[in-house]
Structure 1
Amino acid sequence: MNPSICPGPDVLLARLARGLDVSPPPEHPPSEAYLHDLAVRAGLRDHDVFLVAGLPLPEAALDLEGTAGGWVPSLVQHALALAPADRQSLLIRARTAAGQPRPARTLERPPAAPGPPGFGSLLVHMLALRNLSPSAVAETMCLMSGVCKAASTIRMVRDGVKDLDAELLGGFAAVLGVPAAVPAALTGVSGPVRSAGPSPEVADVATLIWEVRHLTEQEVRELADWAEELSSG
């Protein structure tokens, strides 16, 4: 099978299920309970699996302030340098901020499907739900995985101009906080030679990225500043 040709949502979902040793869904669209179980087993979020299944996202998933994502790489850089206990403190602080009522705002960059149907578009769309633009994806991927690509490369992957390879697969897996075997099962692209799950710090930071997705620019910047204080203290 040519991995550059992206099949339909039912086939993608069956691929993911097989990669996790789970029975494919008995019907399409599958139940939310099935999708949730699949997401938990993969280490993905429910909304990620909604994208795989070709299902619409709840409106709350699109409540993002586009400029806030520009501060995520700074937050990631400082969070990666923290001791485990400090990373947990940062996560708790982020969750507390995320639990506060969100301000009314006009979305600056709602994450509509960011390219033609394809594996690259799917992975970039998952990261768009984390409020990461192609520039933020490139910076964050470099910090979390050592896979350092230009934002233009991420856009080319999104638009189907550049195919995914094992290196990029490992980079996307790190930002998502999943083993490379998960996107490999979806895409049919062989993963990195060492495709174990993410390290504890990378897993924690992937969770942090998810937790701050709805925060404002000021809130993310304040978290980044606090993480820098922790890392230098």
Structure 2
Amino acid sequence: MIQEKETVTIGWCDNGLADGKFAEGLVGVILAAPNNGMKISHSLRVSGNQISRQRQRLLDHWYDKNLSDWLLWIDSDVVLDIDALYLLWHSADSKDKPIVSGIYFISKEPEGTTMRPFACVFKDRGKDGIEYLHPLPEMQLVECDLAGFGLLLMHRSVVEKMREKLPNHSFFAEETGSGKDDEFVGEDIIFFRKMKKAGIKLHAHTGALVKHMKRFSLDFGYYALYWSMEHLKDQVKQNKKSNKLWTPPR
């Protein structure tokens, strides 16, 4: 749990534009935080179109200017939620769990109607690529190898240890993979692989759920899917009240 006197900076990168839902979530959390024992001291924004450079600039500015004890990374297409932040706040610890990810969902078919959603937390299989944490366990703090930067709470000690282990390195420089398909490796995966070299473990709280805003096609495929799933609505509503994921019967 974050200590009473410790403070948090909220930081994000964008391309000059941000969704209204993002702004609404951000403002709501900032207003609600004091009533929930959370101290948000600063906000940081880096605008541009080169994400690895943006993330490095944000990280360096936050750490070098000593703005706060913790940095909450959010993506500009994520809708921040006070309940999710509360779970991260009470899970993180500067000594044992200095970096904890929340959960948002991604898909390899971002333009499709029936996108297959997976949580953006992974196991690292090295040259064999990455493996999604699936199915997602309910309301657990789990250890993982990789995650995205869409919702990530980080303590200052993470940067300190990484700089000591990898002096004068960019932590986010993208590169070509070394696997069988020689795939491109993004800046978030690069960061966590370097973090592991510094001996730092990553955790994720599977109950810290936030919305990930993406475009999709409202076509006949979606129409058919929606109405075929109509009978599940009551069950989904019931599980939302208990803040738990629903696992279909096996």
Do both proteins adopt the same fold according to a TM-score greater than 0.5, normalized to the shorter chain? Answer: no
Please report the TM-score for the alignment, with normalisation by the length of structure 2. 0.28
Q: Per residue, is there more strand in 1 or in 2? A: 2
Higher relative contact order (CA 8 A, sep 6+): 1
Please report the TM-score for the alignment, with normalisation by the length of structure 1. 0.30
